[in-house]
């Protein structure tokens, strides 16, 4: 695979979602960004919001020929783990079938594709899973995301498939993990965070920068694009409280084993980013750096801008 120039135009599916909006903010000064809308209206400066039906390959082909992006980033899907468990057919249609359609259409048009997958694919009995570890999905969300990966790679062998766990500023209709902690603590609420669930979170903007760089370097196949540090959810929340000078005492210890959740979840979702680090020739960053950048984004107006980007 040869290296590519940065794209002049990208199109992002799931345009009203957390990742798509942060992706657009991160890249809009460097390329034209088209955000594909579904049910929510989107208002974000210096981006174009466009209709796109992911259910039909013919319609996708027509629209992509009309919009002419060089890269497509596929973020759309159903991300509520419990909703996927309750509605497995819908989860399969939204997470796997749409991904396959996007992969087929982009492959036929010779467009580069970044497909967003998840850190949720493993049973979580150990830590720092690598790209070639065998997935062992515990719930419908994970099963449909794994099927999506398999179909995407079949339909578009040059696609870049990114397994991740990200945070960043969200909006009223879709709060991120960091929003939930930030707004909860700001409102003086005591929050229970699990000590026994582990993640390797990355700030959305760092994920975006790494994904673009990987594609420019000609990378394809599966890459874990996550932060360098493995943290419990409780530790992450405590660090966020500290970084934003919010009351750390409100971050209380909990245990997922005692929680009543519909879908079974892995305890350890940490991924090793060694492959991405090696390809990029740089580390992906740690929580202190990400939280500092999250604060800077707030000071630069990103939080307010995204809060207003989607009507509830």
Ligand X SMILES: NC(=O)c1ccc[n+]([C@@H]2O[C@H](COP(=O)([O-])OP(=O)(O)OC[C@H]3O[C@@H](n4cnc5c(N)ncnc54)[C@H](OP(=O)(O)O)[C@@H]3O)[C@@H](O)[C@H]2O)c1
- Inter-axis angle of helices 233-243 and 177-186, nearest 10: 50
**8 A C-beta contact, residue 12 and residue 24:** yes
Which residue has tokens 């210096």? Answer: 46
Is 77 a residue that touches ligand X (CB under 6 A)? yes
Candidate ranges 81-89, 162-170, 235-243, 273-281; the one touching ligand X (CB under 6 A)? 162-170
Please count the residues of this chain forming the interface with ligand X, following the rule CB under 6 A. 25
Per-residue contact track with ligand X, 29 to 58, x per CB under 6 A? ---------xxx-------------x----
Tell me which of 47, 144, 165, 200 binds ligand X, using CB under 6 A. 165
Q: Out of 11, 76, 287, 291, name the contact with ligand X by CB under 6 A.
A: 76
Write down the least CB distance from residue 46 to ligand X, Å.
19
What values do phi and psi take at 268, rounded to 5?
Answer: -120, 110
What are the structure tokens assigned to 169, written together? Answer: 């500023």
Q: Which of residues 117-156 bind ligand X (CB under 6 A)?
A: 118-119, 145
Span near ligand X by CB under 6 A; candidates 70-78, 185-193, 237-245, 294-302: 70-78
Distance in Å, CB of 117 to ligand X, minimum: 7
Residue 83 class from Cβ within 10 Å (0-12 exposed, 13-18 middle, 19+ buried)? middle
Task: Tally Cβ neighbours within 10 Å of residue 120.
Answer: 23
Q: Among candidates 196, 197, 213, 201, which has minimal Cα distance to 271?
A: 201
Name the residues that contact ligand X, by CB under 6 A.
14-19, 38-40, 54, 75-79, 94, 98, 116, 118-119, 145, 164-166, 174
């Amino acid at each position: 695979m040869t290296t590519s120039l940065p794209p002049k135009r990208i199109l992002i599916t799931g345009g009203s979602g957390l990742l798509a909006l942060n992706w657009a903010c991160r890249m809009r000064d460097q390329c034209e960004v088209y955000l594909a809308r579904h049910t929510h209206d989107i208002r974000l400066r210096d981006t174009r919001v466009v209709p796109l039906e992911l259910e039909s390959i013919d319609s996708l082909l027509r629209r992509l020929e009309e919009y002419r992006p060089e890269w497509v980033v596929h973020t759309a899907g159903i991300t509520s783990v419990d909703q996927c468990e309750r509605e497995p057919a819908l989860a399969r249609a939204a997470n796997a079938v749409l991904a396959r359609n996007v992969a087929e259409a982009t492959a036929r048009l010779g467009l580069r594709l970044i497909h967003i997958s998840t850190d949720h694919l493993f049973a979580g009995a150990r830590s720092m899973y690598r790209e070639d570890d065998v997935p062992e999905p515990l719930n419908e969300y994970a099963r449909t995301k794994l099927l999506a990966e398999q179909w995407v790679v079949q339909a578009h062998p040059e696609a870049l498939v990114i397994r991740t766990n990200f945070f960043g500023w969200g909006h009223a209709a879709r709060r991120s993990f960091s929003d939930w902690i930030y707004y909860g603590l700001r409102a003086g609420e005591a929050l229970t965070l699990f000590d026994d669930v582990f993640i390797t979170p990355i700030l959305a903007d760092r994920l975006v920068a790494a994904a673009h760089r990987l594609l420019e370097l000609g990378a394809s196949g599966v890459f874990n694009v996550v932060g360098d540090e493995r943290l419990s959810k409780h530790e992450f929340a405590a660090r966020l409280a500290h970084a934003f000078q919010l009351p750390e005492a409100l971050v209380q210890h909990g245990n997922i084993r005692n929680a009543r959740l519909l879908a079974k979840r892995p305890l350890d979702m940490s991924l090793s980013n060694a492959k991405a680090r090696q390809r990029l020739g740089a580390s992906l960053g740690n929580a202190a750096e990400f939280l500092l950048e999250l604060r800077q984004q707030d000071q630069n107006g990103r939080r307010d801008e995204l809060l207003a980007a989607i009507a509830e």
